Amino acid sequence: MQAGALARHEEEQAGDDSLTLTDIGRIVLKHKWTLLLVVLLACAVAAVRTFLSTPVYRSSVILQIDAASPRVVRFEKDPEQERGGDDAASMRTQQELLKSRSLAERVIDELRLDNSTPSGQAALALAPARQLGEDAAAAAQQPGQRDYLDRLIAGYQKMMNPSTRNVEVLGREAVVQRFLNSVTVEPVRGSRLVTLHVDNTDPNLAARIANTTVQSFIAMGMERRLEASSYAKKFLEEQIKQMKARLEESERRLNSYAQANQILTLDEKTSAINTTYTDYAAALSKAEQERIKAEAVASEMRRNPAAASAVAENKSIQAFRERRAKLEIEYQENLRLYKPEFPKMQQIKAQIVEIESQITNEVQGVAATLQAQYDSALRQEALLREKLAQTRKQVLTTQDHGIDLNLLRREVDTNRQLYDSLLQRFKELGISGNVVSNNISVVDAAEPSLFPFKPSLMRNLLIGLIAGMLLGTAIVVALEVLDDSIKYPDEVERVLGLPLMGIIPKLKGKKRAVAMEVHEDPRSAIAEAYRSVRTALQFSTTDGAPKRLVITSTTRNEGKSTTSLALAINFAQMGQRVVLIDADMRNPTIHKMLGIPNDFGLSNLLSSDTRVDRLLTPTVVPNLSVLPAGPVPPNPVDLLTGPKLLLLLDLTAALGIDYVIVDAPPMLGLADSIVLGNQLQNVLFVVQAGSTRKSLIKAALRRLRQGGLVPRGVVLTQALNNAMPVDYESYYGYGPTGASAEHTALARPQ
């Protein structure tokens, strides 16, 4: 349970896989040639497409659209002035009119641009669609046969085919659409100027179309004003006739209604009735208050007669109560001398009873009086409410007559005002209609263009550049997604959550054992790299480097055996006695690197009673001995699990061995490294840069954590030069030719 909890905790503490700016920069530098090639290809495609495209020329006309043209005769409500109220809306209206279909058809007819005629080719082009629609309709008439599919086909045909099959109509529509697509209206910001652009493959035709469009637009504006004035005159004449008849009719209805209802002074009568209604309402409110007060007093009397305020304020009851109190006091004083049966005592008691009877009668009288007052107040309230209801009916009746009369009067006034207004507008329109103005003028006429407007080489190259960068980025991202491995040192701690113990550079052209270069050339780049790993191990604990160390990796061929031998050589160069144990009994490699036999080794030691000192093989490196793996056993895990491995470690300590380094098998699929790690308690993890996927590395580390092991750190092997924080050779001044045989001779044992 503790191991599982530890594993979960370590996984939570591990870093994330999110990209940083540094990672993005490295990715771009890594694939810079791929990105550059894609961008160049995209730009080349854009250039070729530009050169092969048909050139289109643009001619432009600049118009000035004023808010309203000067008027010879001005009126208070001039139609032209009213239309010019919203300047922005007026400008937008003129711009949309320049793109209208009616103007386009007028220019097309004037320049004879419509050459579309019915042809056999067009009819042939429509024949398949017509035949398909007829087939779908015939299939739809056969019930029960592919009904749903036929409905889908028929719906598709309705959406994709035009509603008419007339070739002339379709040809005209195509010409108009091409014309509208070639015209662009562009307002000049902050001014009343508008630029009309016309695009065409013929520069002369483009200029003609632009100039003709503007002239036709001005002519259409003049015609619309003349037509509007003529229509307005006819409309006003009809409206004046209708309004005059309506005014006469409303006046007759007003007079008839006033005579029928005998309405003379409606305002005074309505005021008197309203005053009476207000008086009754005030009296009813006062009666309601008195009734509520009487009801409260009577209710209090019924609940507690003795404590009611009316009883307490009654003087007769107060006198009776005082007399009763005196008799009770006298009775109590005589009770000290006489017994209750004494005649005098009986007499006093009889007087007290008589007084209480009188008090009761008085209380009942007060209660009856209060109830009578309440009943009176209730009857008064009912009478006032009835009177108020009657008065309300009279007020409503009077208001109904007043509303009807006011409606008739208002209708007469409205009709009279409308009649006067229409008559006035008709006279003004008769004068202003004869004056036609124009508020549109041409600033610059269109001229044939000297150079094509499109395609634009620079714009297409820019589009090709952007498209190439996007496509190249997508390719680079795809390559990076496929290459899910650790390639740079800063990814180790961020992704794996483990400290980086060292970086081993990738050596090119090295065919011999790389680890032996640590011994043969101590000043080489590989030797410096492994020496930094040894230094990091020395500072990994408070007691220095671990005395017993297991070195493993995720999969094979990541450099764990090379790292094991190189670290063993580094510790031996410090004058420490080191034993290197090849525990990878399935695929041993240490003996191949050192050139020693593998006839006897760890498998023999763990499976028999062979002595350790007989199996330790000295090497060319001083202070370094090796325990080879030996013959491949059938059950390596069982041998490692047994007690002889701990006995072996104890014997190495007895022989004076300072450090024991174990080359363990890979993690995935094998349990050997977990067994070795639990017995030696110190694990160093090797990762080859740009090789093993991150998911596999995390799975291997998860297995270690589940076994209760946390690696001391990670050694990154086969790192590229751009991933190295320090170029060891250039930093120390040792190039490929700088490492002389002298250094090699000094490093070898004498």
Q: What is the mean pLDDT of residues 661-666?
A: 90
Same domain for 377 and 505? Answer: no
Cβ atoms 571, 578 nearer than 8 A: yes
- Count of residues in the chain: 750
Same domain for 387 and 494? Answer: no
Pairing type for strands 659-663 and 624-627 reads unpaired
pLDDT one-digit tens code per residue, 608-621: 766 666 778 888 88
Q: What is the spatial distance between Cα 453 and Cα 468, in angstroms, rounded to a whole number?
A: 24
Domain edge (last residue) among 377, 394, 411:
394
Cβ atoms 266, 406 nearer than 8 A: no
Answer yes or no: is pLDDT of 119 > 50: no
In the prediction, which pLDDT does 437 show? 60
Whether residue 278 lies inside any domain: the answer is yes
What's the gap between Cα 346 and its chain centre? 102
Same domain for 386 and 527? Answer: no
Same domain for 581 and 702? Answer: yes
In the prediction, which pLDDT does 10 show? 46
Cβ atoms 666, 554 nearer than 8 A: yes
Same domain for 271 and 388? Answer: yes
pLDDT one-digit tens code per residue, 667-702: 887 888 888 888 888 899 999 887 788 888 888 888
Whether residue 233 lies inside any domain: the answer is no
How far CA 730 is from CA of 308, 418, 531, 736, 737, in Å, comes to: 116, 102, 17, 10, 12
Which band of pLDDT confidence, cut at 50, 70 and 90, is reported for residue 253? confident
CATH code, 300 = 1.10.287
What's the gap between Cα 462 and its chain centre? 31
Q: Which residues pair with 63 in a beta bridge?
A: 194, 442
User: Average pLDDT of the chain?
Assistant: 76
Q: What is the mean pLDDT of residues 25-30?
A: 72
- The residue ranking higher by pLDDT, 544 or 274, is 544
In the prediction, which pLDDT does 486 show? 78
> Per the structure block, which two tokens stand in for 273?
């009735």
Q: What is the spatial distance between Cα 631 and Cα 580, in angstroms, rounded to a whole number?
A: 17
CATH code, 614 = 3.40.50.300
Whether residue 345 lies inside any domain: the answer is yes
Cβ atoms 171, 117 nearer than 8 A: yes
Q: What is the spatial distance between Cα 184 and Cα 733, in angstroms, rounded to a whole number?
A: 69
Question: Which parts of 261-342 fold into alpha helices (H)?
Answer: 266-303, 309-313, 315-334
Same domain for 389 and 494? Answer: no
Backbone angles phi, psi at 613, to 5 degrees: -65, -20
The number of C-alpha atoms within 13 Å of 93 and in the hemisphere containing its C-beta is: 12
* Helix, strand, coil fractions of the chain, as percent rounded to 5: 60, 10, 30
Same domain for 494 and 390? Answer: no
Show the domain range for 340.
267-394
Answer yes or no: is pLDDT of 565 > 80: yes
> Per the structure block, which two tokens stand in for 671?
């349990």
Whether residue 123 lies inside any domain: the answer is no
Same domain for 388 and 519? Answer: no
Cβ atoms 585, 636 nearer than 8 A: yes
In the prediction, which pLDDT does 646 show? 81
In the prediction, which pLDDT does 723 show? 54
Cβ atoms 357, 323 nearer than 8 A: no
Whether residue 381 lies inside any domain: the answer is yes
Provide, rounded to the nearest whole percent, the portion of the chain with pLDDT above 70: 76
End-to-end CA distance of the chain: 55
* Total tally of structural domains belonging to the chain: 2
In the prediction, which pLDDT does 28 show? 74
Answer yes or no: is pLDDT of 275 > 60: yes
Which band of pLDDT confidence, cut at 50, 70 and 90, is reported for residue 647? confident
In the prediction, which pLDDT does 41 show? 92
Whether residue 279 lies inside any domain: the answer is yes
How crowded is residue 161: how many other Cβ atoms within 10 Å of its Cβ?
Answer: 14
Whether residue 45 lies inside any domain: the answer is no
Q: What is the spatial distance between Cα 522 and Cα 531, in angstroms, rounded to a whole number?
A: 9
The least confident of 85-99, 133-147, 198-212, 557-571 is 133-147
601 closest CA partner among 589, 617, 623, 587: 617
Same domain for 507 and 651? Answer: yes
DSSP-based three-state secondary structure for 520 = helix
Answer yes or no: is pLDDT of 468 > 80: yes
pLDDT one-digit tens code per residue, 402-453: 666 667 777 777 877 877 777 777 666 665 555 556 778 888 888 888 888 8
Answer yes or no: is pLDDT of 392 > 50: yes
Whether residue 380 lies inside any domain: the answer is yes
The least confident of 64-78, 201-215, 582-596 is 64-78
Answer yes or no: is pLDDT of 228 > 70: no
Q: What is the spatial distance between Cα 728 and Cα 505, in angstroms, rounded to a whole number?
A: 9
pLDDT one-digit tens code per residue, 120-140: 333 323 333 344 344 444 444
pLDDT one-digit tens code per residue, 696-728: 888 888 888 888 888 889 998 888 765 555 554
Answer yes or no: is pLDDT of 110 > 80: yes
Same domain for 695 and 547? Answer: yes
Domain edge (last residue) among 394, 422, 446:
394
Domain edge (last residue) among 375, 394, 413:
394
DSSP-based three-state secondary structure for 315 = helix
In the prediction, which pLDDT does 27 show? 72
Same domain for 355 and 498? Answer: no
